[in-house]
Amino acid sequence: MMKKQFLQLGTFAICTTLTVITNTNIEQLLPNNHKKVWHSYTAFAQTNEEQISRQVYQKASPAVVTVQTGTGHGSGFVVSQDGLIITNAHVIKPLPKNQQELINYNLNDFPRVVTVVFSNGRKVSADVLGFGKSGLDLAVLKIYNQKNLRTLDLAVPGDTSVGERVFALGTPLNADFKDTFTQGHITRIDSKSGKIQHDAVIQGGNSGGPLLNSKGQVIGVNTAGVGVGKLNSGMNFAIPVAQVQSFIAATRKKDISSFSTLVQPTTKPTVTTISLNGQVINGSLGKGARSFVRENGSFVNLYQFQGRSGQQVIIEMVSQKINPVLILYQIKADGARKVVDKNDDRGPGDFNAQIVTKLPENGVYEVGASSLEAKEIGNYILRATAKP
């Protein structure tokens, strides 16, 4: 043991000594005038990087715009001198924030005309021509009566690699922050989709703006980022230029969608009215008019009743086919659902569900009969009673 420890300590000492000797030799071999050359080279490299950054910004800025929709904003960039502009589909038609918005999702509810703001402050109207098909998060706008707009060049598809410097330009957070320029590196490229992951800082509002290479060419469209609140984690994503090129070609052929394809709206579920009299209700979970899908992918059937403040209700769900989950909602004046209570196990070792609770207010309530696991299907028995 002692010999082993000595050997390890010796090795460490030798490495340290060699390091010292090596450093000494380097200092001796480099005369003063060479040191000045080294420092000059470092300064030159920094100056060159700064020059590239300035050139990219100066080239791209006149062609990058803020897209204002009336309810929010995003970014975009000009790809033709006669006024074609690329942005994200979700800039024009935002994604639903919750299940209720998904149920009420209207494909045709989006602005047909938006306001485009250039970096110099000039504002013009642009028509929404259409959206990418098959869930592609791209939209195309058109400014009319234009001939000589500044444009961005598209890079050669696939001509990017991990580690390359990239630049983002757009309008993060607030419309007053238009023309914000950040930079970073490509950190990953998805081998299947080609989606570019990078660490150039982007925030909400950067969506639809370009991701640029050191030549000022578009290599992607900034679309999403991972963060907590407004803090950026450095994991940001861009749609690759190959898909952008295909979308522009489809636009010229008028082979694009007239509505966003990011979300397929669900059919508004049928709600069954029940009485709190203990009547046995036979139900079945699965795809159909009576069901919608929760965030975790499980089906839900809805049952509605009129309740009173302070009324105690007992709701039971029993099944041999699925692992039952009960959710009691209160329906607010604006139609939104508020969770009052939830249960997935009636007791130790009993995987059936039961809710026993007092209602907080007079009004309409809904019982959601669901399952613990996603896409479980099967029959169940539901019973609801009330105590005076």
Rounded distance, CA 20 to CA 13, Å?
Answer: 11
Interacting residues of 173 by C-beta distance below 8 A, sequence separation 6+: 203, 204, 205, 230
| In the chain, alpha helices (H) | 2-29, 32-60, 89-92, 99-103, 241-252
Rounded distance, CA 105 to CA 267, Å?
Answer: 10
Active site residue 137: yes
Rounded distance, CA 278 to CA 383, Å?
Answer: 5
**281: Cα separation from own chain's centroid:** 40
Strand partners, 2: none
Bridge-based pairing state of the strands 299-307 and 271-273: parallel
Q: List the Cα angle 304/289/307 in 5-degree steps.
A: 5
From the list 119, 137, 260, 291, the catalytic residue is: 137
DSSP string, 275-305: -SEEEEEEEEESSSTTEEE-TTS-EEEEEEE
Least Cα distance to 154 among 203, 86, 206, 91 occurs for: 86
Strand partners, 236: 198, 225
From the list 73, 75, 90, 371, the catalytic residue is: 90
Q: Contact at 8 Å (CB) between 179 and 171?
A: yes
Active site residue 90: yes
Q: Contact at 8 Å (CB) between 309 and 330?
A: no
From the list 75, 119, 207, 370, the catalytic residue is: 207
Using H for helix, E for strand and C for coil, what is the string for 330-376? Answer: EECCCCCEEEEEEECCCECCECCEEEEEECCCCEEEEEEEEECCCCC
Rounded distance, CA 75 to CA 87, Å?
Answer: 6
Q: Around Cβ 380, how many Cβ atoms within 10 Å?
A: 22
Q: Contact at 8 Å (CB) between 100 and 106?
A: no
Report the catalytic residues.
90, 137, 207
